[in-house]
Amino acid sequence: MSDIGITVKKSEDFSEWYTQVILKSELADYAPVKGCMIFREHSYAIWEKIQEIFNAKIKRTGHRNVYFPMFIPESFLKKEAEHFQGFIPQVAWVTVGGDSQLEEKLAIRPTSETIMYSTYAKWIRSWRDLPIKLNQWNSVVRWETESTRLFLRTREFLWQEGHTAHATKEEADQEVKEILDAYKDVIENYLAVPVLIGKKTEREKFAGALYTTALEAMMPDGKALQMGTSHQLGQNFSKVFNIKFLDKNEKERYVWQTSWGFSTRMIGAMVMLHGDDKGLMLPPKVAPIQVVIIPIPYKGVDAKVIQSRAREIHERLQKSTISVVLDDRAEYTPGWKFNAWELKGVPIRIEIGPRDVKKKQVTLARRDTSERIALKEDDVVNEVTKLLEEIQSNLFNRAKKSLEESIATVETYDEFKEIFRKKGGFIRACWCSNSACEEKIKDETGATIRTVPLEKEKIFSKCVYCGEEAKEVVYFAKAY
């Protein structure tokens, strides 16, 4: 075993394992600037898949893509006080252009509410102009000073941000929910990452929002990772940016708005959740390469026959919708290739050797179970298609099971602390809805309320901290 592969076990040194998987599978690399990363072909291809899937979904529901500039005048950012307070510590500024000092410094967007909404004010006059449902794929900069992690926390990251304006609160509520459902579909059914869905508390909500909904996943090290957020902004921004319209009754009204986003950090979640000691394990639906074919020639046996069989199978799969690569490089041994492609997370490997040729079969190897299956050549396309689906659901089911196992229900604060310290995960507890208790728990344990279920769960005890009457069941965890 050389250093080409992963040299630590996921279960023994999770942090080191995570870094190695990303670097060695060539998903990403470090950039020369602190906290910045390079998305290499492998991770960018995954991101493109995600874009494809999500674009199709939101376009079906009337959203369109746009691009707004990355520079935001300071005065714009300051208009909504809460928003400004929330982002100011992390904003990177441009103060000089060429050799002249700028009159007003420009923020490099940490998010685009302000620049987009100042423009929405121009575009919206009448109820006929509504709704506006725009999305953009871009990068944002948040100048993290704490330690940064590849994909999870970087100073610049890729994301999509959707920004809508509606005539009524109900419509905006509906939009928040619709996007939340779209996110759930992408994250669970494509990335195979199961999530808890709910609202954020006042303390955790987006700066400037009326309320925030979010999707939270649980990582193998017991920490929760936020996979996406969808905010009801109310009229907070429309009032400060003066986004008004005349309704059908000729009455002037402020619009109701939403914003929502998910970022490349979800790729990090996928890596952590599905990867193993051999490296990456990609869910078939987002894997840039779903199948790799490795011919196994022997000297003395007719190598040409094996080559041509491999090509034939390759062609057959290419004609279907399966994304397939034929690795017929002579310089590497089959064993070397097995390891290399497993490291990259390819879901299915097809081996074709003398034994297979003789029996008119191919040998399939599953990345998720390491199982080897012999298949009749003629069944390849059908069987591979079926198997890809099976691997997809196997990955999700496994992760779902571990999510469920990570949730511990507690009634007392002692239990809370004990379980939280020992294994992390989600702690399900009753809460009095008082921010003071939430704050104390965070100070004393580091756990925050990750989510308040949308459909209230049945109260089963007093508030876990203060012992007063509880108002809701919530999920605590340490956050990434």
Partner RNA sequence: GGGGCUGUCGGCUAGCUUGGUCUAGGCUUGGAGACUUGGGCUCUCUAGACCCCGGUUCAAAUCCGGGCAGCCCCA
Binding part of the chain for RNA, among 101-109, 147-155, 184-192, 450-458 by CB under 7 A, reads 147-155
Best CA proximity match to 297, nearest among 274, 328, 275, 321: 328
The contact pattern for RNA, residues 263-282, with x = CB under 7 A and - = no contact, is ---------------x----
Largest CA distance in the chain: 88
Alpha-carbon distance 442 to 265, whole Å?
Answer: 24
12 binds RNA (CB under 7 A): no
Total residues interacting with RNA, rule: CB under 7 A: 49
Q: Which is nearer to RNA, 209 or 346 (CB)?
A: 346
Q: Closest separation between CB of residue 72 and RNA, Å?
A: 22
Interacting residue with RNA among 335, 389, 414, 435 (CB under 7 A): 335
Interacting residue with RNA among 19, 55, 65, 242 (CB under 7 A): 19
Interacting residue with RNA among 60, 128, 299, 304 (CB under 7 A): 299
Alpha-carbon distance 403 to 419, whole Å?
Answer: 15
Q: Closest separation between CB of residue 290 and RNA, Å?
A: 17
Interacting residue with RNA among 297, 345, 347, 425 (CB under 7 A): 297
3-class DSSP assignment, residue 401: helix
DSSP 156: E
* Distances in whole angstroms, Cα of residue 344 to Cα of each of 4, 198, 277: 12, 34, 12
* Distances in whole angstroms, Cα of residue 378 to Cα of each of 308, 309, 360, 362, 371: 15, 12, 9, 10, 20
Exposure string over 319-344, b if 16+ CB within 10 A, otherwise e: eeebbbbbbbeeeeeeeebbbbbbbb
Residue 283: cis peptide before it, omega within 30 degrees of 0: no
- The DSSP element (H or E) to which 443 belongs, if any, is helix 435-445
3-class DSSP assignment, residue 164: strand
Q: Do residues 225 and 480 lie in contact, with contact meaning Cβ atoms separated by under 8 Å?
A: yes
Q: Closest separation between CB of residue 105 and RNA, Å?
A: 20
Find how far residue 2's CA is from the centre of its chain: 32
Interacting residue with RNA among 120, 241, 260, 338 (CB under 7 A): 338
The contact pattern for RNA, residues 392-431, with x = CB under 7 A and - = no contact, is ----------------------------------------
Q: Contacts with RNA in 26-55 (CB under 7 A)?
A: 30, 32-36
330 binds RNA (CB under 7 A): yes
Binding part of the chain for RNA, among 80-88, 98-106, 156-164, 292-300 by CB under 7 A, reads 292-300
Q: Which is nearer to RNA, 405 or 439 (CB)?
A: 439
Q: Which is nearer to RNA, 63 or 155 (CB)?
A: 155
Q: Do residues 430 and 457 lie in contact, with contact meaning Cβ atoms separated by under 8 Å?
A: no
Q: Closest separation between CB of residue 468 and RNA, Å?
A: 24
Find how far residue 297's CA is from the centre of its chain: 41
Other beta carbons less than 10 A from residue 143's beta carbon: 14
Q: Closest separation between CB of residue 28 and RNA, Å?
A: 11
How many CA within 13 A on the CB side of residue 110? 25
Q: Closest separation between CB of residue 147 and RNA, Å?
A: 5
Q: Which is nearer to RNA, 5 or 73 (CB)?
A: 5
Q: Both tokens of residue 226? A: 């936020």
Interacting residue with RNA among 28, 197, 352, 474 (CB under 7 A): 352
Interacting residue with RNA among 258, 264, 339, 406 (CB under 7 A): 339
Q: Contacts with RNA in 151-170 (CB under 7 A)?
A: none
Q: Which is nearer to RNA, 1 or 56 (CB)?
A: 1
Q: Contacts with RNA in 301-320 (CB under 7 A)?
A: 303
298 binds RNA (CB under 7 A): yes
Alpha-carbon distance 1 to 7, whole Å?
Answer: 9
Residue 338's identity, in one-letter code, is F
353 binds RNA (CB under 7 A): yes
Q: Which is nearer to RNA, 184 or 440 (CB)?
A: 440
Q: Which is nearer to RNA, 187 or 340 (CB)?
A: 340
Q: Do residues 231 and 261 lie in contact, with contact meaning Cβ atoms separated by under 8 Å?
A: no
Residues facing residue 375 across a β-bridge: 362
Binding residues for RNA (CB under 7 A): 1-5, 15-16, 19, 30, 32-36, 145-150, 278, 296-299, 303, 330, 332-336, 338-340, 342-343, 351-357, 363, 365, 370, 443, 446
